[in-house]
Structure 1
Amino acid sequence: MMGGLEIRHLNKQFGGLTVANDINLVLKPGDRKALIGPNGAGKTTFANLITGITPPTSGEIFLDGRDIRHFSEAKRVKAGIAKTFQITTLFSTLTVRENLRLPVLERAGRSWGFFRAAASMADIDAEVEALMDSFNLTRHADRPVEQLAYGQQRLVEMALTLALKPRILILDEPAAGVPASDTHLITDAIAALPDDLAVLIIEHDMKLVFQVARSIVVLVNGTVLTEGAPAEIAKDPQVRDLYLGARHD
């Protein structure tokens, strides 16, 4: 393939339990693809297989045509795959600005510069300012993250992940724990992501999924049940019976 992520015949067994069964998936630059499925479907395991947290039993993972199965998690991040987490992983006592400065400095190989005068790090701080502006966080720049509402903390986490300059972004339940009144912050942030960024959204909030996804993959018992446009998925009787009409976490 010319670019993006390609998963071929991916399998994962834990003992006698199969949690990923012959999964094939393509994520091209600019894609906004959602991964849905009932509790226990294997969504988190699949994300962990992509990011290198969990090694596959068999199958292939290509990034821009390069086999990355043997890449470590850290090497995959450097190659362009980044993932947010269900629970925010921020430095709660640091300000928004300081949280975002860390990954920008790390990516630039200048983590030693965190405590240097801002005047000597003008390029770094300009990038941080741009990140805060794109996620509507500028007014919170100098507030400790622990003082922000949960929805705003999720925005900081998304901005932090984007600071790594990924080409593949995996959003792991970005609306988890966010009050319904604030979910527009998440959907607006997803809509504003760079056009050439490939995004995989793992989410239980069906309203959010149908707002932001251009295609949806349905995973059941580690197997892809179907994939299609939101309108097709909404009408699929198997999806309605197995997922949309069922209680889910």
Structure 2
Amino acid sequence: MQGLAIRELSKNFGGLHVARNLNVTLPPGCRTALIGPNGAGKTTFANLLTGVLQPSSGTIHLNGNDIGKLSESARVRAGIAKTFQITNLFRGLTVRENLRLPILEREGGAATIFGRADGYRDIEAEIAKLMDELHLTPLAEKVVRGLAYGQQRLVELALTLALRPKVLILDEPAAGVPTTDSHLIVAAIKRLPADLSVLIIEHDMELVFEVADKIIVLVNGAILMEGTPEEVTRDPRVRELYLGAGHD
């Protein structure tokens, strides 16, 4: 069992320390949440994992391979994928067409985006499987711009899963989703592949406590504590700095 291993990861902008000696392990199958107050460094941490930022020091290994100096696109190919706070979809295309794009790109067939020739039956089967797993099949031929926001977030999640990641970073998956639809996001997270490492960056504590088996609390770029949801809620520092105060 390997997964993602982050050791002594730091990021400085001149004299400003935005990530301080972070040590995090995301084994296969984990469901880990990253929480913290405004300015804690959650976005910086995600950007260091995905290659948007290069660390000042420290290492990032995926299944024993050093990926710390890889570009964003190379990290995606290595198995690091991230959803975003704002949906990034092709709004004029159907759900099925949206899902076809990352699969064709992954397989080197992006030039035939709208083709459904017999030679791509395996791709169509993969699309059908993704839609079934995320309960999107009834929406297959719907244009994305006409979907409810919660449904668009599910499509975005399906697009990310189409990349076949080993580590999935969910950046505020419930952001902008009406409370009445938040159960769709929770259910989708619970249905993710059992061997997939999942890091959830989220301020919706109900969602965090429902899906996470471990929580990391980040404050001022450093890890304050980590533990089970029960351990986190009992910690007086967390109650004072996060759970009882405003958060992003």
Aligning the two structures, in what range does the TM-score lie when normalised by the shorter sequence? over 0.9
Q: 2:170, 2:201 within 8 Å by CA — same for their partners in 1?
A: yes
2:96 aligns with 97
Matches within 5 A, 1:195-210: 195-210=194-209
Separation in structure 1 between the aligned mates of residue 173 and residue 3 of structure 2, nearest angstrom? 22
C-alpha RMSD of the superposition: 0.8
Q: 2:97, 2:114 within 8 Å by CA — same for their partners in 1?
A: no
1:46 aligns with 45
1:244 aligns with 243
Separation in structure 2 between the aligned mates of residue 115 and residue 128 of structure 1, nearest angstrom? 13
Deviations 1:80-101 (A, max 9, x none): 0100010101001111000000
Matches within 5 A, 1:122-137: 122-137=121-136
Partner secondary structure for residue 184 of structure 2 = helix
Separation in structure 2 between the aligned mates of residue 219 and residue 34 of structure 1, nearest angstrom? 10
Q: TM-score, normalised by structure 1?
A: 0.98
2:83 aligns with 84
Partner secondary structure for residue 60 of structure 1 = strand
Partner secondary structure for residue 24 of structure 1 = strand
1:143 aligns with 142
Separation in structure 2 between the aligned mates of residue 29 and residue 117 of structure 1, nearest angstrom? 34
Matches within 5 A, 1:185-196: 185-196=184-195
2:6 aligns with 7
Q: 1:27, 1:198 within 8 Å by CA — same for their partners in 2?
A: yes
Deviations 1:4-41 (A, max 9, x none): 00000000011211100010000000000000001110
1:16 aligns with 15
Separation in structure 1 between the aligned mates of residue 192 and residue 175 of structure 2, nearest angstrom? 19
Matched, 1:158 2:188: no
Partner secondary structure for residue 156 of structure 1 = helix
Separation in structure 1 between the aligned mates of residue 132 and residue 73 of structure 2, nearest angstrom? 28
Partner secondary structure for residue 120 of structure 2 = helix
Matched residue pairs, number?
248
Superposed structure 1 runs of 4+ greater than 3 Å apart: 117-120
**Counterpart AA for 1:26:** T
Q: 2:167, 2:196 within 8 Å by CA — same for their partners in 1?
A: yes
Partner secondary structure for residue 115 of structure 1 = coil
Q: 1:3, 1:28 within 8 Å by CA — same for their partners in 2?
A: yes
Q: 1:81, 1:166 within 8 Å by CA — same for their partners in 2?
A: yes
Matches within 5 A, 1:207-246: 207-246=206-245
Partner secondary structure for residue 192 of structure 2 = coil
2:183 aligns with 184
Separation in structure 2 between the aligned mates of residue 119 and residue 135 of structure 1, nearest angstrom? 25
What percentage of aligned pairs have identical amino acids?
65
**Counterpart AA for 2:176:** G
1:29 aligns with 28
Deviations 1:174-204 (A, max 9, x none): 0000001100000000000000000000000
Separation in structure 2 between the aligned mates of residue 115 and residue 142 of structure 1, nearest angstrom? 13
Partner secondary structure for residue 69 of structure 1 = coil
Structure 1: stretches of 5+ with no match in the other structure: none
**Counterpart AA for 1:231:** E
Using the TM superposition, give the Cα deviation of residue 150 of structure 1 relative to its aligned residue in structure 2, in angstroms: 0.4
Using the TM superposition, give the Cα deviation of residue 79 of structure 1 relative to its aligned residue in structure 2, in angstroms: 0.5
Partner secondary structure for residue 94 of structure 1 = coil
**Counterpart AA for 1:234:** T
Q: 1:118, 1:125 within 8 Å by CA — same for their partners in 2?
A: no
Q: TM-score, normalised by structure 2?
A: 0.98
